[in-house]
Amino acid sequence: MQILLVEDDLPLATGLKHALKKQGYAVNHVETGTACLQTIGIDRPDIVILDLGLPDLDGLDVLKQLGNIASSLPVLVLTARSSSDEKVLGLDSGADDYLAKPFEMTELLARLRVFERRLSSTNSSTITIKNVTLDINEHLVTVDNNEIELSRKEYMLLKSLMENIGKIQTRSKLESRLYGWNEEVASNAIEVHIHHLRKKLGVNFIKTVRGVGYKVDVKSEKADTL
Ligand code: CA
């Protein structure tokens, strides 16, 4: 899950980045509305967290422009403006949700989980493929009904694959979902996570598409159906 954070308050942005990364989100940060709009065209995130009080453009204008260039992109607005009139204005301008500053981190994380659920192709809070079930609300994974321990990155990687069942996820796409722009990523980082996931899920659950990436299929290989 890749989040674009648009926030000019640097201490707040740093705190948010830290907390979101801890949850396994890949977070990219820009400080201006212009940078936000430019970024959307180049590296489209899954969710935008947008501060309305920006130094260059009015956040509501940014919101409208985002609606024009990426209408399906979910936007969570953060703002110190909290009168209910402005709340309605924000939602009318295309925000999917609205959080008034100051807010609790737990509240922001809860809202993000709602977005994640909406973004999931299944429209349900759990995805089950073969003997593996992923619960998006609880961030937990079971194999044959037994809960397994995954790191945040492993969880996010598995989620990307399970949400895109049957579709190949390229290594670079997976990397952009797991790591922000400035994060040091070892060239074999995805392979290492896949290796760990296979130890926990069984070797056949995630298929390697040689030279391209990985996928999870509904159909079992012959070897699985014995
Ligand atoms: Ca601001």
C-beta of residue 77 within 8 angstroms of C-beta of residue 107: no
Confidence of residue 93 (pLDDT cuts 50, 70, 90): confident
- Whether residue 224 lies inside any domain: the answer is no
- The per-residue pLDDT for range 173-194, each reduced to its tens digit, is 999 999 988 888 888 999 999 9
Domain with residue 28: its CATH number is 3.40.50.2300
- Expressed as residue numbers, the domain containing 79 is 2-119
Q: Is the pLDDT of residue 222 over 60?
A: no
Query: Domain end: 85, 119, 153, which one?
Result: 119
**68 shares a domain with 6:** yes
How far apart are the CA of 172 and the centre of ligand 1, in A? 32
Residue type, 102: P
Q: How far is the CA of 84 from the centre of ligand 1 (A)?
A: 19
Q: What is the pLDDT of residue 122?
A: 62
Does one domain contain both 142 and 33?
no
Instruction: Give the per-residue pLDDT at 226.
Output: 41
Confidence (pLDDT) at 83? 64
Structural domains counted in the chain: 2
Last residue of a domain, one of 76, 96, 119: 119
Closest CA to 34 of 61, 10, 15: 61
- High-pLDDT (> 70) share of the chain, %: 91
Q: Are 36 and 4 in contact (CB under 8 A)?
A: yes
CA 166 to centroid of ligand 1, rounded, Å = 42
Per-residue confidence (pLDDT) for residue 204, from 0 to 100: 94
Residue 209 and residue 106 share a domain: no
Q: Is residue 221 part of a domain?
A: no
Q: Does residue 203 register a pLDDT over 60?
A: yes
- pLDDT score of 34 more than 70: yes
- pLDDT of the residue at 118: 81
Q: How far is CA 13 from CA 6, 35, 205, in A?
A: 8, 15, 38
Q: Are 125 and 137 in contact (CB under 8 A)?
A: yes
Same domain? 93 vs 138: no
| Overall average pLDDT of the 42-59 stretch | 92
Task: For residue 13, report the distance from its CA to the centre of ligand 1, in Å.
Answer: 10
Do 36 and 108 lie in one domain? The reply is yes
Distance, CA 8 to ligand 1 centroid (Å)?
Answer: 5
CA of 55 from ligand 1 middle (Å) equals 7
5 CA to middle of ligand 1, Å?
12
Categorise residue 225: left if φ over 0, alpha if ψ from -120 to 50, beta otherwise: alpha
CA–chain centroid gap for 173, Å, is 12
Ligand 1 centroid to Cα of residue 77, in Å, is: 11
Q: Among residues 119, 142, 161, which one ends one of the domains?
A: 119
* Same domain flag for 115 and 143: no
CB 19 within 8 A of CB 32: no
Q: What's the CA-to-centroid distance between 21 and ligand 1, angstroms?
A: 21
| pTM listed for this prediction | 0.79
Asked whether residue 42 carries a pLDDT value surpassing 90, the answer given is no
User: Residue 151: phi, psi to the nearest 5?
Assistant: -70, 165
CATH number at residue 187: 1.10.10.10
- Do 179 and 164 lie in one domain? The reply is yes
In this structure, the answer to whether residues 165 and 58 fall within a common structural domain is no
pLDDT tens-digit series, residues 53-92: 899 999 889 999 999 988 889 999 998 766 666 666 767 7
Same domain, 106 and 136: no
Express each pLDDT in 130-181 by its tens digit.
999 999 888 899 999 999 999 989 999 999 999 899 999 999 999 999 998 8
225 in a structural domain? no
> Does one domain contain both 89 and 133?
no
Q: What is the rounded average pLDDT for all residues in the chain?
A: 89
Concatenating the DSSP letter of every residue in 4-63 gives EEE-S-HHHHHHHHHHHHHTT-EEEEESSHHHHHHHHHHS--SEEEEESB-SSSBHHHHH
Residue 201 CA to ligand 1 center (angstroms) comes to 44
Ligand 1 geometric centre to CA of 51 (Å): 6
Asked if residue 135 and residue 90 are part of one domain, the reply reads no
Residue 97 CA to ligand 1 center (angstroms) comes to 17
**Is the distance from CB of 37 to CB of 65 less than 8 angstroms?**
yes
Cα of 24 to ligand 1 centre, how many Å? 25
Among residues 119, 217, 212, the alpha carbon closest in space to that of 172 is found at 212
Q: Are residues 90 and 133 in the same domain?
A: no
More confident residue, 150 or 96: 150
CA of 1 to the centre of ligand 1 (A): 24
pLDDT value of residue 35 = 97
